[in-house]
Amino acid sequence: MHQLRCSSCLLAVSVAFGLVAVAGVAGAQEHPEHPKGQEHPAEHPTQAEMQAAMEQMMALGAPGEHHRHLARMVGEWTYEGKFLLPGAEQTSTGTMSAEAILGGRFVRATWRGEFLGQPFEGIGIDGYDNIQKKHVSVWMDGMGTSLYLYSGHCDGGGKETTMTGTYFDAMEGREVQDLGKMIWLDDNAFKLESYRVAPDGSRRKTMEIVARRRRS
């Protein structure tokens, strides 16, 4: 925890000194009559401005309400899923283990199971970007070498999150768009849905997974 706090401080200090550097450059450009190395004192951020910048960066880097919503994923889960492939439907079962990382700023989930008769493993990292005010997610798995990036929003209580992302589909040979939903059924169960979004805006459901918390 101390290292995390220090990292936030270093980021804030970097931003504050960045303000100083920018002001110095701007001052040199706007006042060429000043001798080199003798910038006008008024062109430097004040101590109060630097402190305010540091406090703002620390606030933006701190976990908040949305991160507490994400923390509900932490734990051990079992899941049942179905994948709606063109002309066929495949089912899958397995387990998911999720943990909070980086001081509760993100949740890392590892999914293990079977898909198309082969062992399957995937890793998802979910978070909430305080700066963009968006939920963000990255997915990777053992069936390919691509990273899938998603972002979106949730309802007021964090019960349902909707995110979209684009990626290159090797089967179709083009970039496609996906829409994903995470819906909490209760504190111990949630559902994931995925839709392929066509160029005309229509949607085709491609996946549905229901995960339930494992009882100790």
DSSP letters along 136-180, please?
A: EEEEEETT-S--EEEEEEE-TTSSEEEEEEEEEETTTTEEEEEEE
Give pLDDT, residue 44: 79
d(CA 100, CA 109): 9
Report if pTM > 0.85.
no
Give pLDDT, residue 100: 97
Residue whose structure tokens are 């976990």: 63
How far, in Å, are 60, 62, 163 from residue 12 at the CA level? 10, 12, 30
Give pLDDT, residue 21: 40
- Digits of tens for pLDDT over the chain (216 positions)? 343 333 333 333 343 334 434 344 334 444 445 455 555 555 678 888 888 888 788 877 788 899 999 999 999 999 999 998 877 888 999 999 999 999 999 999 999 998 888 899 999 999 999 999 999 999 999 989 999 999 999 986 889 999 999 988 887 888 999 999 999 999 999 999 999 999 899 999 999 999 999 986
Q: CB of 183 within 8 A of CB of 191?
A: yes
d(CA 176, CA 95): 28
Give the phi and the psi of residue 184 in degrees, each rounded to 5: -80, 120
Give the phi and the psi of residue 57 in degrees, each rounded to 5: -65, -40
Give pLDDT, residue 63: 84
Give pLDDT, residue 12: 38
Give pLDDT, residue 3: 36
d(CA 162, CA 153): 6
